[in-house]
Amino acid sequence: MTSMKALVQLMKELEDQLTVCMRCGMCQAVCPLFAETGREADVARGKLALLEGLMQNMLENPKGVYERLNRCLLCGSCEANCPSGVNVLGIFMKARAILTGYIGLSLAKRAILRGMLAHPQIFDRVTEWASKYQGLFTKPVDELLGTSCARIVSPLIADRHFNPLAPVPFHRVRPSLDTNPGSSGIKVAFFVGCLIDKIFPRTGEAVIEVLQHHGVGIFMPERQACCGIPAISSGDTKTFNQLVHHNLKRFDAHEFDYLVTACATCTATIKKVWPLMVQDYPEEVKAKITKIAENTLDISQFLVLNIGLEKVSFATDDNKIAVSYHDPCHLKKSLGVAVEPRALIQANPCYRFKEMSESDSCCGMGGAFNLHNYEISASIGRRKRDNIVASECSVVATGCPACMIQISDMLSQSGDRIKIRHPIEIYEELIIRP
């Protein structure tokens, strides 16, 4: 449990922010969860109303409040469209921290977050071991998408088609890197993120390849930790603080101009959640976090704004690959990044870009939301899949590994023959073209 002093401090911060909501209900129109359930309790306005009497509700029914608050994708659609500028995600994160501080973590979450995620070396060992033996419980199901499904009935996996752990994680191939700036005169730190490291190492390779091609110096410290989003979205401030401190030590040791990631969720977490949740840190640590957050960029944003994309025009045949793009919520709604990933894709003349309908609607993943509410998550995901299929693309690109997992699941289950790529991989193809 969190100390009473820390809880009261968080409660005070929350009270100040809650007064901004004027109950207009405009968040209803954009909430993907409300579109599924039609329940006022699921939309931002309903949750904010619940939080107004948090102290009272917490004493009467803490688990009930916690469950209601957790029925949320943390997609930020409400915040991005709120006319009053309510910091909805900040409020929800703080409220989850208060509730978890009061009722404690479940045993399963304690084991995963505090026993594993908080210790990068243990996390690496466990996932490498799981990668070796995953074939005993799972089997490949779609070669094009690289998905697997459960071999035997499993309540955890259920009907999911998922991207398995990579045979060799990114950090084994590239444990660390420290190169000087080349022609660009710029040096970046590369924050890899758990999903790219353990499931999509190819994306990490593409980042390195492209940065080197553009003469960008790279600092990539070994033993990077998770950005902390699974911990803080479960209200586990202890693990979150541990992870932030671990990463600060790794990255602070070096001078770099920008910190880049190829994961929309990592970028949004470092840029927006780190500064938000560290109010009681010592001033010098807060200053370091502010500096890192200000200089954190999505890889597409970094390349477009600071480097300039490769301009090539070579003859291509008529069989250009039709590609569409899904806007990850953490990139478009949280950070306003939408033009740059499209620019990366469109830079490659072998592709023909086709915008899909509702490209910025949530894919339904929502991290732990998918684990606890798979039916609703999949229903939102199927709408996304239908829009992808309707665009008649043969490749769909997106800049968030979590979205890649959710979209893979939906396409694999329906048997649609559409590949998923990260925009940096499409851009990399241009660079390594023979």
- Quick one: 45 or 421, whose CB is closer to ligand SF4? 45
The least CB distance from residue 71 to ligand SF4, in Å, is 8
Residue 389 in contact with ligand SF4, rule: CB under 6 A: no
**From 76-84, 174-182, 221-229, 300-308, span contacting ligand SF4 (CB under 6 A):** 76-84
| Contact residue for ligand SF4 among 75, 207, 277, 380 (CB under 6 A) | 75
Contact 162, 155 (CB under 8 A): no
- Quick one: 26 or 157, whose CB is closer to ligand SF4? 26
Contact 250, 224 (CB under 8 A): yes
| Contact residue for ligand SF4 among 14, 18, 82, 260 (CB under 6 A) | 82
Residue 273 in contact with ligand SF4, rule: CB under 6 A: no
The least CB distance from residue 48 to ligand SF4, in Å, is 6
The least CB distance from residue 52 to ligand SF4, in Å, is 11
- Choose among 307, 278, 275, 310: nearest CA to 291: 275
For residue 389, the tally of other CB atoms under 10 A from its CB is 18
Dihedral over alpha carbons 223, 228, 234, 238 (to 10 degrees): 80
The least CB distance from residue 77 to ligand SF4, in Å, is 4
Q: What is the distance between the alpha carbons of residues 434 and 430, in angstroms, rounded to a whole number? A: 9
217: tokens are 């110096």
| Contact residue for ligand SF4 among 7, 35, 74, 293 (CB under 6 A) | 74
Find where tokens 């740059």 sit. 340
Strand extents, DSSP E, 242-295: 258-261
Residue 268 in contact with ligand SF4, rule: CB under 6 A: no
| Contact residue for ligand SF4 among 10, 54, 69, 72 (CB under 6 A) | 72
Q: Count residues near ligand SF4 (CB under 6 A).
A: 26
Q: What is the distance between the alpha carbons of residues 150 and 161, in angstroms, rounded to a whole number? A: 8
- Quick one: 242 or 361, whose CB is closer to ligand SF4? 361
- Quick one: 73 or 356, whose CB is closer to ligand SF4? 73
Q: What is the distance between the alpha carbons of residues 400 and 91, in angstroms, rounded to a whole number? A: 24
User: In sequence order, what are the beta bridge partners of 352?
Assistant: 322
The least CB distance from residue 34 to ligand SF4, in Å, is 6
- Quick one: 33 or 424, whose CB is closer to ligand SF4? 33
Residue 376 in contact with ligand SF4, rule: CB under 6 A: no
Kindly give the interhelix angle for 237-252 and 88-103, rounded to the nearest 10 degrees.
Answer: 120
- Choose among 298, 356, 299: nearest CA to 323: 356
| Contact residue for ligand SF4 among 84, 106, 279, 357 (CB under 6 A) | 84
- Quickly list DSSP for 182-196: -TT--EEEE---HHH
Pairing of strands 147-150, 138-142: antiparallel
Mask 23-52, x = binds ligand SF4 (CB under 6 A)? xxxxx--xxxx---------xxx--x----
**From 83-91, 103-111, 175-183, 294-302, span contacting ligand SF4 (CB under 6 A):** 83-91
Find where tokens 């060799």 sit. 168
- Give the helix ranges, DSSP H, for 328-373: 329-335, 339-346, 368-372
- Quick one: 21 or 430, whose CB is closer to ligand SF4? 21
The least CB distance from residue 432 to ligand SF4, in Å, is 38
| Contact residue for ligand SF4 among 14, 54, 69, 86 (CB under 6 A) | 86
Residue 323 in contact with ligand SF4, rule: CB under 6 A: no
Phi-psi region of 158 (alpha: psi -120 to 50; beta: other; left: phi over 0): left
Contact 295, 258 (CB under 8 A): yes
Contact 210, 429 (CB under 8 A): no
Residue 73 in contact with ligand SF4, rule: CB under 6 A: yes
- Quick one: 92 or 170, whose CB is closer to ligand SF4? 92
Q: What is the distance between the alpha carbons of residues 217 and 428, in angstroms, rounded to a whole number? A: 17
Contact 11, 54 (CB under 8 A): yes
Residue 378 in contact with ligand SF4, rule: CB under 6 A: no
The least CB distance from residue 425 to ligand SF4, in Å, is 28
- Quick one: 163 or 398, whose CB is closer to ligand SF4? 398
Strand extents, DSSP E, 117-262: 138-142, 147-150, 177-178, 187-190, 217-220, 258-261
Q: What is the distance between the alpha carbons of residues 373 and 195, in angstroms, rounded to a whole number? A: 21
- Quick one: 25 or 308, whose CB is closer to ligand SF4? 25
**From 79-87, 285-293, 347-355, 419-427, span contacting ligand SF4 (CB under 6 A):** 79-87
The least CB distance from residue 45 to ligand SF4, in Å, is 4
Contact 124, 169 (CB under 8 A): yes
**Binding residues for ligand SF4 (CB under 6 A):** 21-27, 30-33, 43-45, 48, 72-78, 82, 84, 86, 88
